[in-house]
A = this chain, B = another copy of it.
Amino acid sequence: MAFPSDLQIARAASLKPIEDVAGEMGIGAHLVEQHGRDVLKIRLEAIEELADRPKAKYVVVSAVTPTPLGEGKTTTTVGLGQAMKHIGRRATVAIRQPSMGPTFGIKGGAAGGGYAQVVPMELLNLHLTGDFHAVTAAHNMLSALLDNHLFQGNAAGLDPHGITWRRVLDVNDRVLRNVIVGLGTHTDGIPRQTGFDITAASEVMAIFALARSVREMRERFGRVVVGYTGDGKPVTAEDIGGAGAMTVIMREALKPNLLQTLENTPVLVHAGPFGNIAHGNSSVVADLIGIRGGDFLITEAGFGADMGAERFFNIKCRASGLTPDAAVVVATVRALKAHSGRFKIVAGRPLPDALLAENPDDVHAGAANLRKQIENIRLHGVSPVVAINAFPDDHPSEHAAIREIAEAVGARVAVCRHFAEGGAGATELAEAVAEAADEPTDFRFLYPDSASLREKIEVVATKVYGADGVDYDLRAARQLDRYERNGFGDLPVCIAKTHLSISSDSSLKGAPTGWRMPVREVRASIGAGFIYPICGDMRTMPGLGADPAAHRIDIDENDEIVGLS
């Protein structure tokens, strides 16, 4: 019998009434709002009301540097959450909401997979409760106010060429990357070149993910820098009268969404900032609620440990005040083999036959990447646990190879089969995580707020990425100088680089050494509270391929959705 599709498994799931799922987290009916049959929004009063409950152990799920196919990080996060019940512990899972752009582009969905899924997956993959749409609306409200400000006389003195605020849409649409607006007649505004990013790349998304309250979100919106005057003075959303309207548009969205896994584990799905130019983590408010919901709060951070986990530690934990107790590093046979440099994996094409053949030596040849990502966790004083995400084509000797690599550096390790077996397949991981989280923690940020922006960039580049140093283009150097001068120097940094290498060159596998990191440009998300240096080409608006998933997403003869996964 063929293994059932994600959609078949999801449709067969036995969902628990979602208010009962909330109840098990200690969240009473007065704190929730139903959104459809199977989703709740949780009121932010829960943060204060639950403050006396015991604090869960806080676990972040990260990974080795992924292949273009991804290594099953969401699936492992969900599987680990499900597994905790099997070892008698209660867990809450916290993940990002997927973007609709990629769902209709290449992915077809992002709800986990197999027997480790968040349900209802149709809701998760589509609008959910509309939070992303609220981000789009709030962002573009500010854009409209900005161009209207120019049109109505430009009282703030914005330099039209110094405008940094663009527009956003949650769709993969390459032609919107670079546009000219304001054409037509004199009533149609002032022409200028600008562009659209995908909604996940909006600073509104990052702010919404980092704010601890509506009030703090309002203040962060006010600080958003939309551009500069002719003499380099920042102009903010507050200056052009947009922060209040943005807050009103985003007020309901700040309530976290509660769903469940196939095994009824509570799952907070909230916010979805980009993992390159933003910090790539789900929301702080969801974690502030989830941290009181049971024995473990398990959250996922985007891409490899050098990316999402580093930002989780240095940006998200800075904003939330929460400190992690353990970190999972998801590893796969195929990723470590790819890090050997012996194979090339291309999204949308079958894996090379040679990669699928049993060969533990290929795994060992890619060990450096796993060792470095374990080190990146330890740099922050957190206990790492390696989760070997098993695939049907794997060979036991290859799992054994990963285990050897991890144990050689003293990390806990577990093979997990949640995709095929659900939570029961990840109990070894659950036990290992529970042990790691029980160790005394020594969590530390990588750098103090008071370090200069260059010092911050350099400590991440050299300690986390393994670079010999950093080279700044003239433009980047000037921008850093300006940010320091504008008083933004105490913010953390979010280095926008490829997620396909620990280095800033996507072609370098393993744990590259002997390279210097080039910084072309440095941008600022002042409302979100980070400075982001750009190393290489960062695409903030994806395109559609020749045969996008949208062509296959449809309704069937019973009006049921087909084509999502």
A residues near B (Cβ < 8 Å) are 33-37, 41, 100, 104, 126-127, 129-130, 133-134, 136-137, 140-141, 143-145, 147-148, 151-152, 169-184, 187-191, 193, 214-215, 218, 241-245, 247-249, 251-252, 543-544, 546, 548, 550-555, 559, 561, 563-564
Contact = CB atoms under 8 A, between A and B. Distances in A.
Given A36-B41, A214-B559, A215-B555, 7 more contacts: A133-B133, A137-B170, A145-B544, A174-B188, A177-B188, A179-B183, A248-B561
A336 B483 CA distance: 60
B548 A249 contact: no
A310 to B, nearest CB: 29
B188 A175 contact: yes
A543 B179 contact: no
Contacts of A550: 141, 145, 241-242, 244-245
A177 B161 CA distance: 21
A133 B133 CA distance: 6
Contacts of A249: 100, 126-127
A184 B193 CA distance: 11
A310 B301 CA distance: 56
13 contacts: A127-B130, A144-B544, A169-B169, A175-B181, A179-B183, A180-B183, A183-B193, A214-B555, A218-B554, A241-B550, A244-B550, A244-B563, A247-B555
Nearest to A44: B559
Contact of A215 (B104, B214, B559, B564): B559
B130 A171 contact: no
A176 B171 contact: no
A555 B251 contact: yes
A543 to B, nearest CB: 7
User: 3 nearest interchain CB pairs?
Assistant: A244-B554, A133-B133, A175-B189
A66 B141 CA distance: 29
Given A137-B133, A173-B140, A554-B245, A33 B37 contact: yes
A322 B270 CA distance: 43
A212 to B, nearest CB: 13
Contacts of A129: 130
A555 B134 contact: no
A516 to B, nearest CB: 27
Contacts of A214: 555, 559
Contacts of A555: 214-215, 218, 244, 247-248, 251
A423 B553 CA distance: 47
A190 B175 CA distance: 7
Nearest to A541: B188
A561 B127 contact: no
Contact of A171 (B127, B137, B248): B137
Contacts of A245: 104, 550-551, 553-554
A421 to B, nearest CB: 30
A145 B563 CA distance: 16
Contacts of A176: 181
Contact of A140 (B37, B171, B177, B193): B171
Nearest to A192: B175
B174 A147 contact: yes
A255 B175 CA distance: 33
A91 B426 CA distance: 57
A242 to B, nearest CB: 7
Contacts of A151: 174-175, 543
Contact of A33 (B36, B104, B182, B247): B36
B140 A554 contact: no
B127 A247 contact: no
B174 A189 contact: yes
Contacts of A191: 175
Contact of A248 (B140, B182, B215, B553): B553
A341 to B, nearest CB: 27
Contacts of A543: 148, 151, 187, 189
Contacts of A554: 218, 243-245, 247-248
A184 to B, nearest CB: 4
Nearest to A183: B178
Contact of A188 (B178, B218, B247, B561): B178
A33 B120 CA distance: 15
Contacts of A169: 140, 169
A559 B34 contact: no
B177 A179 contact: no
Contact of A553 (B34, B127, B175, B244): B244
Which of A152, A175, A548 has the largest number of chain B CB atoms within 10 A? Answer: A175
Contacts of A193: 183
A205 B516 CA distance: 53
Nearest to A129: B130
Contacts of A147: 173-175
A113 to B, nearest CB: 19
Contacts of A134: 127, 133
A153 B9 CA distance: 37
Contacts of A33: 34, 36-37
